[in-house]
């Protein structure tokens, strides 16, 4: 455990929370919490598109909020840093997509193994080694290809439902420009609901329910691990932690516990696998909110992350209301909301994949294979996107690997 960074303490966290609480970090924490709640729409959309049962989708989202909310209370309180926790959005999309293929229990078993790998990566401090084995542009090419369909489904309603689609998309961009404290996704969702009510869509069947996470026993298969577990582990170690750590450092924090964030995410993912949830990790978009200057002084921004975690825990049992609401809406409503929610993820993955001038061909192959959705030997496209992307890059872009090996040799000789 020598690689795990020491935190402050949990002993005086409640006292320090009250001491550091102010209007700035409280309002920012509420915004981050609402942003995290809105991400549940992505889960609902992905699950609905994959044909998953609505009851399971509700339990999945409730577990996302409850489990990640609890870890989101612990991390910022222990380290006194803005470290909100959530789950991997690309991981959620893969999870929904593979369940009809390999089964729920097998998918959760793969999540459990991915969590164990992530935990080991954090405890041993080998995160950098893992990231060098599979170049990040290729990983992001795979992620971009996997998300492409969500972007396309967002704009398709402009052909068949141009008025509501335009209302929701314009509401998103206008609110993003004018109301920085309000998540534009929430505004777009509300605009769509107002339009539906004004045009006579029947929402009378909506019911408020209270449910809690449910226990399940995962199963283990090699095919499920190769199809889903291995790509998830790579995303958790190579994408989610670096993104969150980079955001925190970018806001002026010098010491960020990267190994601890990875290890805690691994533990959280392993726990999640027993409660119908695919992962736990640092929440990069929420981190950007909680660590921003809007949250006030540097040493008090951790309060915003704690508030976001508390909102998750309190809201979790009642999230079924949102599921019931979206079931009563037209399919284009969910498609547009999911596409808007994923735009930044798509743009960032494409930027990392193709803006660095390295591994471009490998990243392109990873993108195309993931977007195609092909299965070879019963193993899903995400796995082959990584394998074939690396192989193509190793053949045609060998020099992009050589600089890594040269640097390592230079370090050893030095």
Taking the model in full, what pTM does it have?
0.72
- HSE-up (13 A, CA, CB side) for residue 284: 19
Distance separating alpha carbons of residues 367 and 62, to the nearest angstrom: 31
Buried b (16+ CB within 10 A) or exposed e, 201-218: eeeeeeeeeebebeebeb
The contacts of residue 348 (CB under 8 Å, 6+ apart) are: 140, 243
Cα maximum dimension of the chain: 73
Residue 96 host element (H or E): helix 89-102
Q: pLDDT tens digits, the chain, 414 residues: what are they?
A: 677 888 888 989 999 999 999 888 888 888 788 888 878 888 988 898 888 998 899 899 999 999 999 999 999 999 999 999 999 888 998 899 899 999 999 999 999 999 999 999 999 877 656 545 778 788 788 878 877 888 898 899 998 889 999 999 999 999 888 886 677 877 888 898 888 888 877 766 666 678 899 999 999 999 899 989 998 998 888 778 877 887 787 777 888 888 999 999 999 999 999 999 999 999 877 888 888 887 888 899 999 999 999 999 999 998 877 666 666 778 788 788 778 877 877 887 788 888 878 889 999 999 999 898 887 765 667 778 888 998 999 898 888 776 555 555 455 555
């Amino acid at each position: 455990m020598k690689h795990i960074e020491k935190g402050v303490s949990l002993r005086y966290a409640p006292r320090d929370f009250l001491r550091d609480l102010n209007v700035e970090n409280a309002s920012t924490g509420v915004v981050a919490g609402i942003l995290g709640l809105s991400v549940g729409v992505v889960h609902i959309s992905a699950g609905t598109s994959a044909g998953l049962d609505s009851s399971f989708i509700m339990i999945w989202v409730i577990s996302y909020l409850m489990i990640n909310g609890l870890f989101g209370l612990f991390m910022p309180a222990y380290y006194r840093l803005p470290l909100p926790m959530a789950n991997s959005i690309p991981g959620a999309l893969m999870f929904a997509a593979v369940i009809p293929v390999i089964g729920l229990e097998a998918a959760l078993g793969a999540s459990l193994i991915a969590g164990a790998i992530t935990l080991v990566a954090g405890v041993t401090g080998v995160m950098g080694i893992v990231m060098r084995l599979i170049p990040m542009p290729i990983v992001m090419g795979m992620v971009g290809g996997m998300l492409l369909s969500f972007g396309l489904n967002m704009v398709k309603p402009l052909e068949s439902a141009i008025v509501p689609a335009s209302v929701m998309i314009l509401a998103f961009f206008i609110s993003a420009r004018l109301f920085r404290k309000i998540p534009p996704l929430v505004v777009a969702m509300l605009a769509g609901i107002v339009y539906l009510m004004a045009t006579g869509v029947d929402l009378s069947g909506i019911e408020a329910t209270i449910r809690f996470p449910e226990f399940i026993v995962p199963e283990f298969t090699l095919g499920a691990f190769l199809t889903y577990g291995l790509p998830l582990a790579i995303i958790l170690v190579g994408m989610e932690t670096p993104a969150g750590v980079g955001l925190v450092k970018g806001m002026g924090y010098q010491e960020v516990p990267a190994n601890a964030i990875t290890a805690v995410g691994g533990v959280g993912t392993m726990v999640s696998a027993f409660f119908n949830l695919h992962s736990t990790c640092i929440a990069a978009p929420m981190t950007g909110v909680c660590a921003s200057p809007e949250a006030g002084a540097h040493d008090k921004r951790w309060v915003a992350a704690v508030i976001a975690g508390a909102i998750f825990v309190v809201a979790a049992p009642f999230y079924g209301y949102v599921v019931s609401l979206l079931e009563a809406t037209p399919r284009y409503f969910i498609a547009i909301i999911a596409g808007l929610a994923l735009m930044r993820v798509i743009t960032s993955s494409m930027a990392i994949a193709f803006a660095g001038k390295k591994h471009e061909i490998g990243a392109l192959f990873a993108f195309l294979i993931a977007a195609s959705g092909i299965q070879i030997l019963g193993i899903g496209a995400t796995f082959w996107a990584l394998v074939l992307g690396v192989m193509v890059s190793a053949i045609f872009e060998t020099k992009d690997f050589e600089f890594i090996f040269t640097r390592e040799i230079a370090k050893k000789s030095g």
